[in-house]
Amino acid sequence: MKLLKILVRHFPPGIGLEYMQNGAIKNKMIDIFQLTEFTNVEELADELMKKERLLTKSTRSSLILTLSRLKSKLKDDVEHKFQLHKTMEHILPITNVRFNKEGSKCLTGSFDRTCKIWNTSTGSLSATLEGHTGVVFDVTFNYPFDDKIISASFDRTAIVWDGETGEKLCTLWGHSEEVVVVQYDPNNHVVATGSMDHSGKIFDLQTGVELWVIEDHDDALVSLEFSSDGNCLLSGSFDSNVFLWDARTHSQVAKFSTHEDSISRCIFNYDTSLIATSSIDRMVKLWDRRFLKECFNMEHSDETAMRWGSQQGLKDKSLHYLVCAHQFEAPCFTNDRMAIDYQWGYRLDQKGATNFHA
């Protein structure tokens, strides 16, 4: 085996190793949850080298530099200044925006059938990705590697692009209606697409070959999410159901079907112990993945959008939270299952849910 690159994952702290084995390029992630702003990176580097044979003496200096950069990101720069950039490069409305891991690039999709890459420091256009014949509805980088881009279009295809040059690498075919969502797995091996034709398709990222199909939904498949290890996949649909899949065996593990209207989003927390689902029925539900049971729900006054986030807590303990927001409120869940709003929230424990004011 030969190490090719050391990559950084800012949250949760970790590094990725890209290496060559038997002529094939492979990747593995190493979690570094013990990293704090007080960590001695040289000692940590030596500790990692003892556990991982890809990390040798010749890579020690690069490893220390990578860990130092990762450590510096644990504390926000309060002197940082932001700049506002405006552009009129797209001639029709923008459908989606994504940043790469470093925040140095911004990706936009548009009704004008193009996808554009922007330099966030200067606001300048780096590349225009042309090849779709319909609206580009979803775009994303392949986190945490950021060397590829994928776009989903109303032309019933998804396209994989080179993240540096903008060159088209392959086109993913097979859907009979608009493709509305795309998602990479974190191991950089496969990509999943969801469509208005009620199906989801999983493709090999290198060859573009279709590997397996999700056909259990009765309406448009609009949300997809891989677990952090790539072993599980969530699919959410306008049929009000969310399915949990084993990505290794391609089998359905569970069905979450208590929502009363179309699913808008389904996501894992980082360690995949929890699943969050949101719906047009104005409900956000939290599920225990191990026992496949609903452990919390909250009703909003309007449709919701949600994401997992992080913040630095007391004594440098990193907190995970789920942000659920719409026009009127923005509550969130922490990893100790606390829901917080600017005005109210719920704390969950073995005795149940308790209302409190924040």
Q: How far apart are CA 158 and CA 309, in angstroms?
A: 28
Query: pLDDT tens digits, residue range 142-193?
Result: 987 888 999 999 999 999 999 888 999 999 999 999 999 999 998 878 999 9
Radius of gyration of the chain (CA): 21
Query: Percentage of residues in the chain with pLDDT exceeding 70?
Result: 81
Supply the pTM of this predicted model.
Answer: 0.73
In SS3 terms, 303-346 reads as CCEEEEEEEECHHHCEEEEEEEECCCCCCEEECCCEEECCCCEE
Handedness of CA 171, 5, 27, 96 (dihedral sign): negative
Q: Residue 49: is its pLDDT beyond 80?
A: yes
Residue 131 has which token pair? 């090849």
Residue 317 has pLDDT above 80, yes or no: no
Tell me: pLDDT of 77 over 50. Answer: yes
Instruction: State the pLDDT at residue 158.
Output: 97
Coil, strand or helix at 272 = coil
